[in-house]
C-alpha cells in the first residue's frame, strides 16, 4: 500500500510529469495538515493536568469530560439541533431539488437557485449578527427563548449543503423509469414513493450527512443566536478557550474529531460504491 502511494517504481529517465521540489512541498503540506491534529489527540491522553508537560498515558481527561454536566448538556443540545436541522433541511432541499431539476427553464428558476445558495455566499459573521438583531426582537415580542431559534438558523444554512448532492443525483437520473411507472397507471404519488425516492436515496443520505456535519461544526452563528445557558459543544469549547486550558478540552476535541472523521469516512465509502 505505502509502496503504491509513493510510486516507487523505476522511472523513465526523463519524467515529463515531475516538477522539482513539488514532492517535498506536498509532503510538507500533508505533515502540516496532520501534525496539529495528531498533537491535539496525543495530549488528550496526557495524565498531567497542564498542557506543558507530558505526565504519562491516561484516560483520565476523557472520563472527566464525560462526567462534566455542562459538557453532557452541550453535547446533547448539539445533537438535538443537528438532527432536527439536518432533517428539516434535507426534506426542504429534496422538495426544492425536485422542483428545480429536470425542467425546462421557467420564470423564477434562477431566482430560486440564487436564493437557495445565498447562505453559502454571505460571510458567517454577517449572517450571525443579522440573526442576532432579528431574534433579539422576536425573543422580546414572543417571550419564547427555546432551541427553536438555533434549529431554524441551522436549517437555513444547511439547506444549500443538503441541496447540492440531491440535485446532482437527480440530474443524473434517467426519467424513463418514472415514465414507465406512469404508463402503467401508477398515480404520481406512487411514482414518487416507489420509483423516484428509492433512486434518489444515495443523494438524500449524502445531503443529510453533509447537513448534519455542517450543523454539528457550527460555531459562529450558534454563538450569536443562542440564549443564555444554550451552549452547543463548539460554543462551550470556545468559551473554555478563554480560560486556562486543561487537557479536558483536548479530550472533548479528540472525541469530536473521531466522530467527524468517522462520518467523513462513511461518506467517502458510500460515494465510492456509487461511482
- Among positions 122-181, residues that touch other proteins (CB under 8 A) are 122-127, 129-134, 136, 152-153, 155-157, 159, 163
Q: Which is nearer to other proteins, 50 or 72 (CB)?
A: 50
Among 73, 119, 145, 246, which residue interacts with other proteins (rule: CB under 8 A)? 119
In b/e form, how buried is each residue of 41-70, taking b as 16+ CB within 10 angstroms?
Answer: bebbbbeeeeeeeeeeeeebbbebbeebee
Among 80, 83, 145, 217, which residue interacts with other proteins (rule: CB under 8 A)? 217
Instruction: Identify the CA nearest to 95 among candidates 185, 183, 159, 26.
Output: 159
Q: Give the CA distances from residue 56 to residues 35, 40, 43, 59, in Å, rounded to whole numbers and listed in that order.
A: 20, 15, 10, 10
Binding status of residue 237 toward other proteins by CB under 8 A: yes
Binding status of residue 70 toward other proteins by CB under 8 A: no
Among 65, 82, 96, 211, which residue interacts with other proteins (rule: CB under 8 A)? 96
Taking the complex as a whole, how short is the minimal distance between the CB of residue 52 and other proteins, in angstroms?
A: 4
Residues 178-207 that bind other proteins (CB under 8 A): none
Among 30, 141, 185, 189, which residue interacts with other proteins (rule: CB under 8 A)? 30
Among 8, 12, 13, 21, which residue interacts with other proteins (rule: CB under 8 A)? 21
**Segment near other proteins (CB under 8 A), from 69-77, 83-91, 171-179, 195-203?**
83-91
Taking the complex as a whole, how short is the minimal distance between the CB of residue 180 and other proteins, in angstroms?
A: 20
Q: Give the CA distances from residue 173 to residues 147, 197, 204, 215, in Å, rounded to whole numbers and listed in that order.
A: 38, 11, 13, 28
Q: Which residue has the cell 439541533?
A: 81
Binding status of residue 115 toward other proteins by CB under 8 A: yes
Q: Concatenate the DSSP letters of all residues of 74-116 into one string.
A: HHHHHHHHHHHHHHHHHHHHHHHHHHHSSS---TTHHHHHHHH
Contacts with other proteins by CB under 8 A: the residue count is: 90
Let me know: does 215 contact 86? Beta carbons within 8 Å. yes
Among 13, 17, 243, 273, which residue interacts with other proteins (rule: CB under 8 A)? 17
Count CB atoms within 10 A of the CB of residue 107: 6
**Segment near other proteins (CB under 8 A), from 30-38, 60-68, 174-182, 199-207?**
30-38
Taking the complex as a whole, how short is the minimal distance between the CB of residue 236 and other proteins, in angstroms?
A: 10
Count CB atoms within 10 A of the CB of residue 208: 23
Q: Find residue 57's DSSP bridge partners.
A: 46
Amino acid at each position: 500500500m505505502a509502496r503504491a502511494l509513493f510510486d516507487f517504481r523505476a522511472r523513465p529517465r526523463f519524467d515529463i510529469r515531475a516538477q522539482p521540489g513539488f514532492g517535498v512541498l506536498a509532503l510538507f503540506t500533508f505533515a502540516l495538515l496532520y501534525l496539529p491534529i495528531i498533537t491535539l489527540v496525543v495530549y488528550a491522553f496526557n495524565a498531567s493536568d497542564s498542557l506543558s508537560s507530558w505526565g504519562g498515558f491516561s484516560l483520565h481527561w476523557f472520563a472527566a469530560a464525560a462526567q462534566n454536566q455542562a459538557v453532557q448538556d452541550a453535547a446533547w443540545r448539539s445533537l438535538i439541533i443537528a438532527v432536527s436541522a439536518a432533517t428539516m433541511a434535507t426534506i426542504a432541499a429534496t422538495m426544492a431539488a425536485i422542483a428545480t431539476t429536470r425542467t425546462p427553464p421557467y420564470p423564477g428558476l434562477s431566482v430560486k437557485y440564487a436564493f437557495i445558495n445565498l447562505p453559502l455566499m454571505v460571510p458567517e459573521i454577517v449572517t450571525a449578527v443579522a440573526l442576532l438583531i432579528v431574534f433579539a426582537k422576536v425573543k422580546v415580542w414572543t417571550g419564547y427563548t427555546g432551541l427553536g431559534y438555533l434549529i431554524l438558523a441551522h436549517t437555513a444554512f444547511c439547506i444549500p449543503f443538503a441541496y447540492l448532492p440531491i440535485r446532482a443525483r437527480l440530474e443524473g437520473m434517467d426519467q424513463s423509469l418514472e415514465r414507465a411507472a406512469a404508463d402503467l397507471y401508477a398515480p404520481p404519488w406512487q411514482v414518487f414513493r416507489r420509483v423516484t425516492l428509492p433512486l434518489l436515496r444515495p443523494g438524500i443520505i449524502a445531503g443529510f450527512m453533509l447537513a448534519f456535519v455542517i450543523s454539528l461544526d457550527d460555531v459562529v452563528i450558534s454563538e450569536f443566536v443562542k440564549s443564555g445557558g444554550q451552549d452547543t459543544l463548539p460554543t462551550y469549547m470556545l468559551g473554555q478557550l478563554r480560560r486556562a486550558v486543561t487537557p479536558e478540552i483536548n479530550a472533548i476535541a479528540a472525541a469530536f474529531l473521531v466522530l467527524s472523521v468517522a462520518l467523513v469516512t462513511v461518506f467517502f465509502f458510500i460515494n465510492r460504491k456509487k461511482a
